[in-house]
Structure 1
Amino acid sequence: MSKEGRYLLCSKKYGQPLFAGAWVTPLKEDKDRDKEEGEKEGEEGVVVLAGGGGNQRSGVPNSLLLVEYDFGSTVLTDALDKLVTGDDPPYRLAAHPAGEGVVCSFEKDCRFFQVRRGEGHEVKVGAAEREISALQGVGEQNCLVFSPDGGRLAAGGDDGHLRVIEWGTFDVLLDKPEAHKSIKDLDFSWDGAFVASTSDDSACRIWDVASGSCVSTLPSVKGEGIGFVRFSRDGKKPLVYVAVRKRGMGFVSAFDTSTWKQVNSRKVQEDPISAFSISRDGRFLAIGSSEGDISIVDAASLSVCQKLKNAHMIFVTSMEFSPSGRAVLSVSADSSARVTPVAPDRGGSRPRPMVLLVIFIILLAWFLGKYDFSDWHQGQSPDSVLSGILARLTSFSKLNISEHDNA
């Protein structure tokens, strides 16, 4: 299939503005079939989408949609199930890493849903039997995030209230009513010990969940601001990445979590960043722009290794890597969802090691062919021979530079 054909298949319109999307692992009702499917290779491609038009009088429904993505054919399906939420548009989603369900933020509270796969492989979404009492009547939450092991859930309110809840017991571990004026984004450190919060006031604060104290405030960008935040995932070189707006462009800055000092910063988008995510293995960052572009960024170097312009017609509202990191889900208020396979080697940002080795062998063969080693028998030492090769290298480089300047 052509590149253009796959580009169209992995994107689909769903008839309502989409505010959030997440990969989910359905609970399987048939244990015998669960065992059989566990032996099969392949990644589960079930996605839950959240969006709507607000008041039902707008004619645009508010709902949660279940769709599937086929990693082989790169096809994104129509909605397989739909849960209408009345006059309450779902704003934000957080899927439990172990597949226990998905938490969704509404105007007044947060609700817990479960996704199940029944007989005939059909998938359904419905309200869970338990509710999260600590998130009832708390108002709109701008961000929801689970810790990497699924043991904790953090919620950041439009009113600036930060809460961290122990998953399962739903006990409140951290409660900061005035963490910010309004919380924009949250993320846990790889071990769940810290949670980072950002705000439109350009502050990024790091909270120790156990003590409840703020251990650091990252420096803001003068005159502009910090938007989204993600911790690294491997634990070997702990970093925290923040999306920064400078001169109207999107930058990503990395801070060392042992000193909280900046260690790297690079421009990744010509436009402000509107969505931000990190793969579960920490290798890549996903960036969505205010103009609908998406980029895959190498987390170690902060270099863009894959870019897709005009992936959406307007700004990207949410992005999330699939569990294996093979693909990125992005959604937009233009009603579209897209799944982009991660293929950083095609970006051409860094030469492959094998290519460098081939180039070295070719150059070495060229120099060996050009140099007359019979001079060794005429009394020249190996040092003299090496000096001659270096002289030829220098002459060759100068010749290339001269020819380039003349051109």
Structure 2
Amino acid sequence: MRVQHTAHAFPAFPVYSSSFVSENQLILGGGGGASKSGIKNKLRLYTVRDDRSVELNDEFELEKGEDAPMSMAAHPDGKAFVCGVNSAIEVLQKGVNENCRSFSIENGKLSLTRTQGTIVVSDDKDDFQKVTVVSPDGKLIAVAGSNTLHVLSYPSLAPIGDPIKTEQEIYDAAFSKSQLVIATTANLQVYNIPETAAPKPSPSKSKKKGKQKSTSNPTLVLDRTVEIPASLGGSVGNTFRAAKFHAKDDSVFYTVMNTIPKRTRSKSSPKQAFVCKWNTESWTIEKTRKVGDRSITCFAVSPDGKFLGYGSSDLSVGLLDAVTLNPAASILKAHEFSVTTIVFNPSSKLLVSGGADHSIRVVTIPEVTGSIDWSLMMFILLAIVVLLIAFAVQRQIA
């Protein structure tokens, strides 16, 4: 499938996070980070049109010394989003970090509505909110640093239960209607969300900032832990990099795995990236596709459930068929530096990738009539040929 795409450069604005809050409203987060680079950290609201042009509508500049927005997720109501921004070092030194922040969008303007502290940063522990995901109904938010994940209610951002701590580093998380899956470097941790898991009362204004005390009893129940499949082989360096539920079918789950094949006597093998399609009823892999010889850096599932989008460390952006995992499109050298974020708009007509090269690329996704399973197609064609031969032999005998 050939796709049309357009690049847009934003001077002095490396992009690290993105989310569509509505059909054509795109939020970008970026900047120079906490370092004194002179590049300001900002959130920007753009209008993205069907012709792939973009227009800046509003800009929210973060306080001096604060970090860049490294992760974000839109709320289903189309009027808000949540992102992760570490506080300035002067605030961190007081033991406070307002890292989880919710914003509203009214009349094309960005407004900070609430903050919550979930990550402790100290001189010997440099951490940030690398994961931000919203539940399908918009009532829960999962935010995570390196080894701790908090589930918060929305819009209060009050903690739901105790934080989940992991031995391995957390790379991603995903909600279905009834489960939360945490992807660490070594395994998938599947938690059930009880129907009785209700948000606690909203915190008072005096407790709105900083880290708040969680409820005494956890509301999430660990259902199972899924280890890295041995069938993929490789070495200790194999990691889960991303994890997403199918947008319309909770029985389908996708993971990205970056693997380091075992070293041969002659030379070390290059890294390899795999996308796996899982059945969540048995938590077994149904399909696996090797995507390339370089690591995948970001991953998304289209809202219509037809495509998987990814960015690779080889600087390319690609599309896979969500049913067969067959390659659907690829844009080589889509960025000049790391591809940091990728997102579909709600109608799945546009895909936007962002990079540390101060740019985004807007991709138009052509309409398709459906997925093609080529192995099934070959079987059908072979069956037709056999029937034709049998018919011809019967006529000769008659």
Structure 2 length-normalised TM? 0.75
2:140 maps to 1:152 = yes
Aligned partner of 1:46 in structure 2 is 25
Q: Which amino acid aligns with 1:204?
A: L
Partners in 2 of 1:388 and 1:81 — Cα distance? 75
Residues 319-366 of structure 1, C-alpha deviations (whole Å, 9 max, x = no match): 111011111111111111122112375999878x9xxx9x99xx9xxx
Aligned partner of 1:375 in structure 2 is none
For the Cα contact (< 8 Å) 2:323–2:371, is it kept in 1? no
Aligned partner of 2:293 in structure 1 is 270
2:8 maps to 1:11 = yes
Partners in 2 of 1:14 and 1:60 — Cα distance? 10
Report the Cα offset of residue 304 of structure 1. Answer: 1.2
Cα 1:133–1:21 change in 2 (3 A) is closer
Report the Cα offset of residue 90 of structure 1. Answer: 1.6
Cα 1:385–1:269 change in 2 (3 A) is closer
For the Cα contact (< 8 Å) 1:305–1:346, is it kept in 2? no
Report the Cα offset of residue 386 of structure 1. Answer: 4.9
Partners in 2 of 1:384 and 1:334 — Cα distance? 62
What SS does the corresponding residue of 1:297 show, helix, strand or coil? strand
Given the alignment, which residue of 117, 127, 152 partners 2:112?
A: 127
Higher relative contact order (CA 8 A, sep 6+): 2
For the Cα contact (< 8 Å) 1:161–1:180, is it kept in 2? no
2:394 maps to 1:387 = yes
Report the Cα offset of residue 175 of structure 1. Answer: 2.7
Residues 228-281 of structure 1, C-alpha deviations (whole Å, 9 max, x = no match): 00012323x712211012331111112211111222111123311100111123
Aligned partner of 1:293 in structure 2 is 316
Partners in 1 of 2:49 and 2:247 — Cα distance? 27
2:138 maps to 1:141 = no
Partners in 1 of 2:316 and 2:84 — Cα distance? 26
Aligned partner of 1:336 in structure 2 is 359
Aligned partner of 1:184 in structure 2 is 171
2:239 maps to 1:225 = yes
For the Cα contact (< 8 Å) 1:305–1:347, is it kept in 2? no
Partners in 2 of 1:244 and 1:55 — Cα distance? 30
Unaligned runs of 5+ in 1: 26-43, 118-122, 372-382, 391-407
What SS does the corresponding residue of 1:387 show, helix, strand or coil? helix
Equivalence map 1:6-155=2 (5 Å): 7-8=5-6, 10-25=7-22, 44-55=23-34, 57-71=36-50, 73-77=51-55, 79-85=56-62, 86-88=64-66, 89-107=68-86, 108=97, 109-117=99-107, 123-128=108-113, 131-133=114-116, 135=118, 140-155=128-143
Report the Cα offset of residue 100 of structure 1. Answer: 3.2
Q: Which amino acid aligns with 1:269?
A: G
2:252 maps to 1:239 = yes
Cα 1:176–1:127 change in 2 (3 A) is closer
Q: Which stretch of structure 1 is more off in the superposition, 176-185 or 299-308?
A: 176-185
Report the Cα offset of residue 116 of structure 1. Answer: 2.1
2:188 maps to 1:204 = yes
Q: Which has the higher helix share?
A: 1
Higher alpha-carbon Rg: 1
Aligned partner of 1:214 in structure 2 is 222
Partners in 2 of 1:169 and 1:59 — Cα distance? 34
Report the Cα offset of residue 311 of structure 1. Answer: 0.9
What SS does the corresponding residue of 2:247 show, helix, strand or coil? coil
Aligned partner of 2:213 in structure 1 is none
What SS does the corresponding residue of 1:288 show, helix, strand or coil? strand
For the Cα contact (< 8 Å) 1:305–1:345, is it kept in 2? no
Cα 1:344–1:163 change in 2 (3 A) is same
Cα 1:388–1:342 change in 2 (3 A) is same
2:336 maps to 1:313 = yes
Q: Which amino acid aligns with 1:82?
A: E
Partners in 1 of 2:253 and 2:34 — Cα distance? 38
Q: Which stretch of structure 1 is more off in the superposition, 299-308 or 10-19?
A: 10-19
For the Cα contact (< 8 Å) 1:306–1:344, is it kept in 2? no
**RMSD value, Cα:** 3.4
Cα 1:384–1:153 change in 2 (3 A) is closer
Cα 1:388–1:255 change in 2 (3 A) is same
Given the alignment, which residue of 170, 175, 186 partners 2:162?
A: 175
Report the Cα offset of residue 215 of structure 1. Answer: 1.2
Partners in 1 of 2:361 and 2:80 — Cα distance? 22
Q: Which amino acid aligns with 1:19?
A: Y
For the Cα contact (< 8 Å) 2:5–2:361, is it kept in 1? no
Partners in 2 of 1:249 and 1:199 — Cα distance? 18
Report the Cα offset of residue 183 of structure 1. Answer: 1.6
For the Cα contact (< 8 Å) 2:119–2:129, is it kept in 1? no
Report the Cα offset of residue 209 of structure 1. Answer: 2.5
What SS does the corresponding residue of 1:301 show, helix, strand or coil? coil
Cα 1:281–1:148 change in 2 (3 A) is farther
What SS does the corresponding residue of 1:313 show, helix, strand or coil? coil
